[in-house]
Structure 1
Amino acid sequence: MRERLADVLDQVPSFNIPSIVMPPTASSDDAPMLSDVMGKDRSINIFSGFTRDVDSVAARLNDGSQNATILAPDNSAMHGLPRKPWEDPREYESLGANAYEGADGPSRAQKNLERFVNAHIVPESPWKENHKMQSLAGNTVWYEIKDGKKMLQPGNIEVSSIADKVANGEIWVIKGVLNSA
């Protein structure tokens, strides 16, 4: 005699696994941070690497309570620098060719790199046009719209794109570098 489907199903052991029925919902804690997306755009991978080399910046980019606008120089701008971001011509003048060697050399280089990276971090996002802000390095920066393009001031540096917008800020790709001296 054929059994009814309902009778067969009654004989199958039941398992109480609610996660199979309903997947967990995403919480706001799962929202991507600047640190999660910083290395995503290959056109800024040089600067992106530098942000990981500065502990205070890396921590900020991973902190959902601290918004920021990252002004990330593209790789062409980084290659066009007259010297490495951790080199300071004044230190070469006063200390000579070995300015970044010896016991104090690495800490001098790290301080210079930190100043360079901090000059490209604005502690606000969203950031409004013509709103003057202090970068983390203490430099005053703002942007204007000129001929339909975002231009960073001072220096008239073009923002070529906004690479990403996440919970704690935005990454702007720029076609130059800001003065960090």
Structure 2
Amino acid sequence: MVEPDIPYVPEISAKPSLADLLTIESSTSIFYSYARELELSQGLSNKDIRMTLFVPTNKAVMALARKPETMSKLRLRLRTKQYDSYTKTNVERWVSAHIIPEAPIDLEGTHDTLLPGKSITFKPMTKSVKDGGWSRISLEDGIRITGKKEALNGDLYIIDGAISPGSA
């Protein structure tokens, strides 16, 4: 007995993945361009891996005194291979400092990020806005959450500053 050809039907989800949200969110394209170059970016599309991202706007990244990949003076002293390895590590540390490997999370207290030894501390602000609470919270150094999007595999918070990986 010959089985009839069954057409391929792609899996359809009611919500986009974190990778989908980052692709269409033009205000955070710089962060996503850094993240896409790393192995950890595979988790942004994986429906079985839950993450909470705190993604700085392009404006916040541009305001950084030193961008995650900018090490031009160091490059002069290092061979290209060493420089590439150093920059990749630097970018991976910076991106990892913006990702909490669980979702959803309560925006209170302290949560560990993907960067070992680095956590994000949440502080309530005095302003009260009716939006589910996220706009009444600040992160370290007074970084404010300006938007939230829910994905199939986690939550994406848009922030008006960049989280420092520190010396973790």
- TM-score range normalised by the length of the shorter chain: 0.7 to 0.9
CA contact (8 A) 1:86 1:116 kept: no
Distance 1:81 1:61, change over 3 A: same
In 2: Cα distance, 1:166 partner to 1:40 partner? 13
Instruction: Write the deviation string for residues 148-169 of structure 1: whole angstroms up to 9, x where unpaired.
Output: 334343222100111x211111
Q: Does 1:142 align with 2:126?
A: no
Amino acid of the residue matched to residue 32 of structure 1?
P
Report how many aligned residue pairs link the two structures: 154
Give per-residue Cα distances to partners, 1:102-156, cap 9 Å, x unaligned: 2311010000000000000111211102142111013111323311334343222
Identity %: 22
Contiguous gaps of at least 5 residues in structure 2: 1-5, 129-134
What do you get for the CA RMSD once the two structures are aligned? 2.8
Alignment map for 1:6-17 (pairs within 5 Å): none
Separation in 2 of the partners of 1:58 and 1:127?
Answer: 20
2:153 corresponds to which residue? Answer: 168
Partner of 2:88: 110
SS state of the match for residue 133, structure 1?
Answer: strand
Q: State which of 42, 46, 68 in structure 1 corresponds to 2:26.
A: 42
Distance 2:156 2:139 in 1: 17
CA distance in 2, matches of 1:107, 1:122: 24
State the TM-score, normalizing by the size of structure 2: 0.78
- Quick one: distance in 1 between partners of 2:85 and 2:138? 30
Cα distance in 2, alignment partners of residues 161 and 62 from structure 1: 20
Query: TM-score by structure 1 length?
Result: 0.73
Q: Return the letter of the residue paired with 1:179.
A: S
Find the structure with the greater CA-based Rg. 1
**SS of residue in 2 equivalent to 1:172:** strand
The answer for unaligned runs of 5 or more in structure 1 is: 1-17
Q: Which amino acid aligns with 1:112?
A: N
Q: Which has the higher contact order (CA 8 A, sep 6+)?
A: 2
* 1:22-72 Cα deviation digits (max 9, x unpaired): xx79656x75311122121111111111110112x2111112121111110
